Amino acid sequence: MREVAIVGIGSTPFGRHAGTPIEQLGVRAAAEALLDAGIDRARIGAVYLGNFISGPLNGKEVLAGIVADQLGLPNVPCTKVEGACASGGIAFRHAWMAIASGQCDAALVVGVETMTHANTAQTTAALNCAMDNEHDGPSGLTFPGLFGLAWRIHAERHGTTRAQVSAVVRKNKRNGLLNPLAQMGADLSDDQIAASASICDPLQLYDCCPTSDGAAALVLVAKPLAREATGIPVDVLATVQTRGASRIAGHPDLCSFDATVSAAQRAYAMAGVTAADIDLVELHDCFSIAEIIDSEDLGLAPRGQGAIWAAEGRTAVGGQVAINPSGGLLAKGHPVGATGVGQLYEVVRQLRGTHANQVKGAEIGMTHNLGGTGVACTVSILRRSM
């Protein structure tokens, strides 16, 4: 397989873009990434677009082709991929594969979603497309229910407290304040978090990521082509896609996602690094408790200590490993199909040394994108180009 570099990045702010057609958000982010890359558009040999619920919420599909058409790209394969909340990460992996395998020399990745125009019932129904509804539907569990249960188990097993979980919320919300693309940065006190509305006990309002619109895009090239690009290149050391159980009862443990654990192990092996080498991570904190579980599953924090690590500041910018310096899903927002691509956008900015919330001396960064109840996962590891 050939080496691949990311040479162009683009993103809309995450938040409310009511009235903007979904494909226009995708085009906006992609045009920025192409401009940043500075390579001839005629070189783009594949387009992968990550999107989850544009069908149910917008009545729009074939978005990969529509976005490519509006960008004036050549006649190349344009494919939408879907794996619930991991759709963006899956799109990235496929663009990587197209180049690494020699199918093409350059590829465009777009992640896009619009959700804020829909009402709560529509959004909840659409998000639940990510569940195995035949088997888990009768339980009445939606995603807050699942992660509420996980929190209860984590607390029972490890003595995790509201205050420790609040440390994750405070960190990510404060990181979000520094990110111009973030939807809901805030400087919150423990009291404000603890006083916020109950969503699904023990989850409270600030423990949950918002509903978001947004798009992010990347231009990838075969390593030798990176010299021609104007964008500062970042190397793709690894990108891995895994599968976990599709039904909730299929998970041996609700406090860990098999798909994350296996993706991380494979990604470290592929990249030839260990968890200790990672300077920063953008991981899938759809809920505060998810960041805690993810940080353990990825091997960043010891099992059971994800919350303590956050409370001790070890996962802050300047700490042992910076987790979600972008603000994460909790503060940056979670336009589902865009999220995985947006995570890569953030890590590239960090490794270029041009992030608004810069992790000093960052050399190796990781992204973690989790879909459904853990049925799909991608982990990617990037390195500052030498």
Active site positions, annotated = 85, 334
Provide the residue type at 20 as one letter.
Answer: T
Nearer to a second copy, 70 or 196 (CB): 70
Please give the Cα distance from 4 to 96 (Å, whole number): 7
Nearer to a second copy, 9 or 259 (CB): 259
Written as one string, the DSSP assignment of 251-262 is -S-TTS-HHHHH
Instruction: Figure out which of the listed residues 14, 52, 268, 309 binds a second copy, where binding follows CB under 8 A.
Output: 52
Across-strand partners of 234? 6, 384
The closest alpha carbon to 382, from 348, 354, 352, belongs to: 348
Decide: residue 312, CB within 10 A, 0-12 exposed, 13-18 middle, 19+ buried: middle
Left if phi > 0, otherwise alpha if psi is -120 to 50, otherwise beta: which for 313? left
- Residue position matching structure tokens 């810069």: 358
**Contact partners, residue 104, CB within 8 Å, separation at least 6:** 44, 45, 46, 76, 98
Could you tell me the smallest distance in angstroms from the CB atom of residue 69 to a second copy?
A: 4
Nearer to a second copy, 84 or 209 (CB): 84
Is residue 141 at the binding interface for a second copy, with CB under 8 A as the rule? no
Secondary structure (3-state) at 379: strand
Could you tell me the smallest distance in angstroms from the CB atom of residue 330 to a second copy?
A: 23
Q: Which range in 48-56, 150-158, 212-220, 278-286 contacts a second copy by CB under 8 A? A: 48-56
Instruction: Figure out which of the listed residues 10, 45, 88, 244 binds a second copy, where binding follows CB under 8 A.
Output: 244
Instruction: Figure out which of the listed residues 31, 41, 79, 117 binds a second copy, where binding follows CB under 8 A.
Output: 79
Nearer to a second copy, 166 or 378 (CB): 378
Could you tell me the smallest distance in angstroms from the CB atom of residue 165 to a second copy?
A: 27
Q: Are 365 and 235 in contact (CB under 8 A)?
A: no
Is residue 97 at the binding interface for a second copy, with CB under 8 A as the rule? yes
Nearer to a second copy, 96 or 206 (CB): 96
Binding mask 254-273 for a second copy (x = CB under 8 A): ----xx--x-----------
Q: Which range in 121-129, 185-193, 345-353, 357-365 contacts a second copy by CB under 8 A? A: 121-129
Is residue 78 at the binding interface for a second copy, with CB under 8 A as the rule? yes
Could you tell me the smallest distance in angstroms from the CB atom of residue 134 to a second copy?
A: 5
Instruction: Figure out which of the listed residues 19, 121, 134, 140 binds a second copy, where binding follows CB under 8 A.
Output: 134
Count of Cβ atoms closer than 10 Å to residue 77 Cβ: 15
Count of Cβ atoms closer than 10 Å to residue 235 Cβ: 19
- Residue position matching structure tokens 């590829």: 107
Q: Are 288 and 207 in contact (CB under 8 A)?
A: yes
- Neighbour order of strands in the sheet with 364-371: 47-50, 106-113, 214-222, 4-11, 234-243, 376-384, 364-371, 280-282, 322-323
Task: Report the site for a second copy in 202-241 (rule: CB under 8 A).
Answer: 241
Is residue 76 at the binding interface for a second copy, with CB under 8 A as the rule? yes
Instruction: Figure out which of the listed residues 31, 41, 65, 228 binds a second copy, where binding follows CB under 8 A.
Output: 65
Report CA torsion sign: 67, 73, 75, 80.
negative
Is residue 375 at the binding interface for a second copy, with CB under 8 A as the rule? yes
Is residue 98 at the binding interface for a second copy, with CB under 8 A as the rule? yes
Question: How many residues belong to the site for a second copy (CB under 8 A)?
Answer: 61
Footprint of a second copy (CB under 8 A): 1, 21, 23, 47, 52-53, 55-56, 59-62, 64-66, 68-70, 73, 75-84, 90, 93-94, 97-98, 100-103, 125-126, 128-130, 132-134, 241-247, 250, 258-259, 262, 371-372, 375-376
